[in-house]
Amino acid sequence: MAVTDLLSDHTADFLRRGYRFADELRSGSDDPRAGSRVPLQVLGSRALLVRGADGVRLFSDTRAVRREGAMPAFIKGGLFGRGSVHGLDGAEHQHRKEMFIRSLMGPAAAEGVLEEAEREWARAVRDRWLSGGTASVYAVATEVYGRALLRWAGVVTHPETATRIAHAEAAIVDGFAVIGPAWLRTQAMRWWCDRWFRNEVRRARSGKITPREGTHFANVLAHRDQDGRPLSDDVAAVELQNGIRPGIAVARFAAFAALAMHEHPQWRERIHDEVRSRWATQGGPIALAFADEVRRYYPFVPMLPAVARHDLDVDGAPLAEGERVLIDVWGTNRDDRHWTDPELFDPTRFLGAEGVPWDDDLGVHAADHFVPQGGGRPQTGHRCPGERITLALLAQTVSELSGLEARVVTDRLDVPMGRMPTAPRNGVLLTDVRRRGQR
């Protein structure tokens, strides 16, 4: 790498500035088209940062860009695991992804997760809060989601073990892009989880356990790659986790949702009224709209990489074959070309105010400028097939929280924007919790 490349590389700036990096890069450019694309240099090579609907369409076009080789190995290996679907490309990637689509995309999958989570919320609220305890929404949601998703996926284990797995998988997400002790903890938890799930795969293949038919565990065991071979024990363990871990990561959104309810109590009241009128914590349109605004407004994934398959011209900016395309995820969700007053938290955007349509096939609000979990279609683009489950879990969570009275501990409630991924520092700590209407 040339000295001039080192001096102009933006990698260190990105790691230091975090979620503010893209906005600061655009504001420092004198190019009138910087709002849609900005050339930069990352990891020693040229790249193009894009945002907005046009950027999402480019990033989702598998004829123009590929995922293989896009993400640095030290990040990809720790987060997704060796041999995962995230490192495949073309027909091989599509064939493996169909396994996740079968497991995650249908309405029945979301309903199954919600049934498990509803029981877990009742237990967690009783044991962690109503008994007089103090606990963060992030920690409780991690445990609720982890235990619910493991049972839904066909992984049967002792509740204490399930709780340990949930926190270990959450730690893998917490430190995958952080320099320091959190990254080392991610590697340790990655090793422990891989070993535990590999043992479960071997037990199933030896006939000691039989995962429930139709579960993600059963689908992983039954899968055959394009060469007709089953997944190795190691890769099967990785892909089993990749069907579970993203749902556990929703606990970060749960913490942000609790923060939003604290800062916008009028929406907490509207959600509570909806729950009482429907006698249900699942599927309420106000809760769904609130959950989607949480996913739009708060920082989670800063950006995602792809690699140009061939030379491209992106709105006058050249991109050579093999150079990276970075989609500014958070910037797209707050792009003032697509959103009215994007810096305001306003769930009415998803109640028809801004025309973000509901997609029955996906089970989510979908638009090219709303990409909290990728763009395009899961079958052909870079959209997560588990997005329906994410939204359903989060809407259920805000419905459950709306029925609680609690004191929010405001110390360390800030959100560090230089850390990726981020969340309120204290996870939104609740104390003096009781159910509404109880003395």
> Do you know the residue count of the chain?
439
Contact in structure between 429 and 135 (CB atoms under 8 Å): yes
Task: Provide the token pair at 121.
Answer: 């919320």
Contact in structure between 377 and 371 (CB atoms under 8 Å): no
Taking Cα atoms as reference points, which of 194, 172, 196, 193 lies closest to residue 184?
Answer: 172
Q: What pLDDT is attached to residue 88?
A: 81
Could you give the percent of the chain with pLDDT greater than 70? 96
pLDDT bin (cut points 50, 70, 90) of residue 4 is very low
Q: What pLDDT is attached to residue 77?
A: 60
Tally Cβ neighbours within 10 Å of residue 435: 12
Range among 15-19, 40-44, 366-370, 398-402 rated most confident: 398-402
Q: What pLDDT is attached to residue 90?
A: 80
pLDDT bin (cut points 50, 70, 90) of residue 380 is confident
How many helices (H) and strands (E) would you count in the chain? 18, 12
Tally Cβ neighbours within 10 Å of residue 206: 8
Residue with the larger pLDDT of the pair 94 and 122: 122
| Listed range (5-9, 93-97, 348-352, 384-388) with the worst mean pLDDT | 5-9
Mean pLDDT of 165-186: 87
Q: What pLDDT is attached to residue 382?
A: 75
pLDDT bin (cut points 50, 70, 90) of residue 422 is very high
Tally Cβ neighbours within 10 Å of residue 13: 14
Residue with the larger pLDDT of the pair 382 and 254: 254
pLDDT score of 439 more than 70: no
Instruction: Give CA–CA dist 52/3, Å, rounded.
Output: 33
Q: What pLDDT is attached to residue 104?
A: 94
User: 379: Cβ–Cβ under 8 A, 6 or more apart, which residues?
Assistant: 94, 97, 98, 101
pLDDT score of 5 more than 60: no
> What are the Cα distances from residue 241, in Å, to 7, 253, 335?
39, 19, 33
Mean pLDDT of 181-209: 94
Model confidence pLDDT, tens digit, residues 295-316? 999 999 898 999 999 999 998 8
Instruction: Give CA–CA dist 55/49, Å, rounded.
Output: 9
pLDDT score of 6 more than 80: no
Ordered by start, the domain boundaries in the chain are 3-435
Model confidence pLDDT, tens digit, residues 333-344? 999 999 999 999
Mean pLDDT of 264-289: 96
Instruction: Give CA–CA dist 387/393, Å, rounded.
Output: 10
Model confidence pLDDT, tens digit, residues 210-252? 999 999 999 999 999 999 999 999 999 999 999 999 999 999 9
pLDDT bin (cut points 50, 70, 90) of residue 74 is low
Average pLDDT, the chain: 92
Q: 378 by DSSP, 3-state: which?
A: coil
pLDDT bin (cut points 50, 70, 90) of residue 3 is very low
Contact in structure between 435 and 150 (CB atoms under 8 Å): no
Alpha helices by DSSP H, listed for 206-284, are: 216-222, 233-242, 245-248, 250-263, 265-278
3-435 homologous superfamily: Cytochrome P450 (1.10.630.10)
Q: What pLDDT is attached to residue 1?
A: 40
